[in-house]
Structure 1
Amino acid sequence: MSLRILLLGGTTEALRLARDLPATAIYSLAGLGRVPDDLPCEVRVGGFGGAEGLAAFIREQGIELLLDLTHPYAAQISANAARAAELSGVACWALRRPGWQAGEGDDWREVDDWNGLVAALQDFRRPLFTLGREPLEHLHDIPPHQHWTVRCLTAQEGVPRATVIGARGPFDLHGERALFALLGIDVLISKNSGSQATEPKLQVARELGVPVLLLRRPELPRVSREFVQLEALWEALQRRLAEP
């Protein structure tokens, strides 16, 4: 494996792939969550300074292939990756994880942004936010009739009408059922990440008849190659590595 690879990660799939990459590869993380210390490849934490900074890093490090396995909602990072690949003349391969699909018994409602979400929440009292850290910026704007539960990677002190839970997936059905029951959740707010690790909350919402508000997915840029399954990307990468 002599191909010089830069993997933009932060997802479960990215970590799985990173465990199979050689020491010459670089696994890049924004640094918001846990940084793995048991990978065979180099781990880099932090930003690059936009597309131009990423392109400069690619040239400086002799990167030959850029892999974008960031979160489906990390639209700015994906845009920077696509542009940096163009500027530096390397291929960019991306994993575009499919979103969840509503099934029988689901009450899913899409919203475009935070303002749309706030408007859609007016009739509820006990929302569970699983959007990451964004709700933490609005804890002092909670309507008097609501108590928010925010689940994100890091716990912090809440406010009188909010509980902030620090937790990292995968989550299981038993734990999600217990959480919904304990808190009396009447609406779930989520990004449509498509991740199996966080999907059980949707099944619990279906079982309880709890509506789900989904933040609409952003448009992501076209790149050299796109994959919907990690296995297909890995097979293509192995073929690339076998080239003389």
Structure 2
Amino acid sequence: MSARVLLLGGTGDALRIARALGPEHVYSLAGLGRVPADLSCAVRVGGFGGAPGLARYLADEGIGCVLDATHPYAAQISANAARACEQAKLPYWALRRAPWQPQPGDDWRWVDDWAGVVEAIKPYARVLFTLGREPLAHLGEVPLHQHWTVRCLDAHPGHARAQVIDARGPFTAEGERMLFKTGRYDVIVSKNSGGAATGAKLGVAREMGLPVVMVKRPSLPPAQREFASVQEVLDALADLNQRKIDA
């Protein structure tokens, strides 16, 4: 197997991995957010054209392994990667970040999708969304009795009943407490992304007795190797490079 790795990224975990990659490897971003300037590896921005386009890219570029470190909710990208690797007969590896688990005192309301979110937040007046960009497409639908705050990576215009905060984690418990108190939120909306960078909001919601509308994770394809931490990925990549040297 070629030791050239295609890293599918866009998360903080993926960036940590990318910073450890040499120039023969490729870090792929969908095009959202800022492109890091401090990487030794090649950086590719943009889509591939679905699974068939990705399979062609893997063959053309001599990729030996695909490492999926995309967001746990980027289900379509992961599905395309798994299918492309199957077509190209290449290993598909994935970093599967553990989901958050409810703790004593938590009030989580589980929903499947955006329609479930809308139904779950109906009784509330001041809503904090921490779902990323999805609510931006619905700012024209804010009910008259509600005010929304949407926290996401990029700046976006709001209006009288919607505020958009552009912010990037990690977020601290102290910062979340200040945000929650200033915004006077009575419900938080979140994806079950897992990880430490954005998990402080859940502890603060618990402290303040706030309900959390939690969107369930989508199903993701199985991988030949699944890793629970960035360190496990780095160890596997080091082993892959060592086998290349020994070959």
Instruction: Give the alignment's TM-score, normalised by structure 1.
Output: 0.97
How far the C-alpha of 1:232 sits from its partner, in A, is 1.5
Q: Is 2:11 the counterpart of 1:11?
A: yes
Name 2:71's counterpart in structure 1: 71
Name 1:231's counterpart in structure 2: 231
How far the C-alpha of 1:31 sits from its partner, in A, is 1.4
Name 1:211's counterpart in structure 2: 211
Q: 1:177 is aligned with what amino acid?
A: R
Name 2:187's counterpart in structure 1: 187
| 1: CA distance, partners of 2:208 / 2:107 | 11
1:112-127 aligned within 5 A: 112-127=112-127
Name 1:43's counterpart in structure 2: 43
How far the C-alpha of 1:155 sits from its partner, in A, is 1.6
SS of the aligned residue for 1:38 comes to coil
Q: Is 2:2 the counterpart of 1:29?
A: no
| 2: CA distance, partners of 1:130 / 1:97 | 18
Name 2:202's counterpart in structure 1: 202
Identity, % of aligned pairs? 59
| 2: CA distance, partners of 1:174 / 1:213 | 22
Q: Is 2:102 the counterpart of 1:102?
A: yes
Q: Is 2:137 the counterpart of 1:173?
A: no
Instruction: Give the alignment's TM-score, normalised by structure 2.
Output: 0.96
| 2: CA distance, partners of 1:231 / 1:43 | 21
| 1: CA distance, partners of 2:190 / 2:62 | 38
Residues 48-97 of structure 1: CA distance to partner in whole angstroms, max 9, x if unpaired? 00000001000000000110000000000000010010111111100011
| 1: CA distance, partners of 2:16 / 2:152 | 22
| 2: CA distance, partners of 1:66 / 1:156 | 33
Q: 2:86 is aligned with what amino acid?
A: E
| 2: CA distance, partners of 1:41 / 1:217 | 31
How far the C-alpha of 1:230 sits from its partner, in A, is 1.7
Please, which runs of 5 or more residues in structure 2 have no aligned partner?
Answer: none
Name 2:56's counterpart in structure 1: 56
Q: 1:150 is aligned with what amino acid?
A: V
SS of the aligned residue for 1:151 comes to strand
Q: 1:34 is aligned with what amino acid?
A: R
Q: 2:31 is aligned with what amino acid?
A: G
SS of the aligned residue for 2:213 comes to strand
Runs of 4+ in 1 over 4 A off after TM superposition: none
Q: 2:62 is aligned with what amino acid?
A: G
The CA RMSD over aligned residues, in Å, is 0.9
SS of the aligned residue for 2:34 comes to coil
